[in-house]
Chains A and B, each alone.
Chain A
Amino acid sequence: SQQGEEDPQALSIQEGENATMNCSYKTSINNLQWYRQNSGRGLVHLILIRSNEREKHSGRLRVTLDTSKKSSSLLITASRAADTASYFCATPDQTGANNLFFGTGTRLTVIP
């Protein structure tokens, strides 16, 4: 299976704190993407980082990629209650089928 794994599975923090989620994957990739999913809703694309990039920022989000370790991290700074959601990393299917394989996800709860 090409599915990645994320840790922690669940994370609970106080508003204002930073949240860090990690993703490990198994195969070589061209890019890695992070998605957010509010409970019972669809996915929202957050950020894409390419294999030749080591770090990328978008607002309060910071993503790192270490292709040697086949891992990525998502950091949300100054968290807000509205950040409460599940976060998934996703890697493209390298067989050319164009689909995405999703990690197991991290359920983040930000306590006001």
Chain B
Amino acid sequence: GAVVSQHPSRVICKSGTSVKIECRSLDFQATTMFWYRQFPKQSLMLMATSNEGSKATYEQGVEKDKFLINHASLTLSTLTVTSAHPEDSSFYICSARSRTRGTIYFGEGSWLTVV
């Protein structure tokens, strides 16, 4: 079946540094990828929507300069958390929409801890 891979699954970084999370669709092309953030015991909150070859659309309250999203190809989107703060520690999940099937598939998520 279709698989969406996120990497790294866990990352620890120091405050002030930047960290990049990759989201790859392994056996399908994804015209659209979505990035969610999830705090412990809470629901997923959409951060941004990225379309291949164009700028990402950010949800209200999400700082685009802090959470840089790049969707350079039909199989890869990246989320870069810049100048990370401990408050950015969270679980980040991506999903990808299949160009041919229209189905959305979710990655396994990435745990970010900022110390």
* Cα separation A97 to B106 with both chains bound (whole Å): 17
On whether the beta carbons of B97 and A103 are closer than 8 Å, the reply is no
Q: How many residues of A contact B (CB 8 A)?
A: 19
Q: Which residues of A contact B105 (CB under 8 A)?
A: 45
Which B residues are in CB contact (< 8 Å) with A102?
36, 43-45
The answer to the question of A77 belonging to the interface, with a C-beta cut-off of 8 Å to chain B, is no
In angstroms, how far is the closest chain A Cβ from the Cβ of B47? 10
The reply to whether B32 and A42 form a contact with Cβ atoms under 8 Å apart is no
Q: What 1/0 flags go to A70-112 for Cβ under 8 Å of B?
A: 0000000000000000001000000001111111110100000
Q: How far is the CB of B96 from chain A (nearest CB, A)?
A: 11
Whether A42 contacts B43 in the complex (CB less than 8 A), given A97-B49, A98-B49, A98-B97, comes out as: no
Complex contact B43–A105 (CB within 8 A): yes
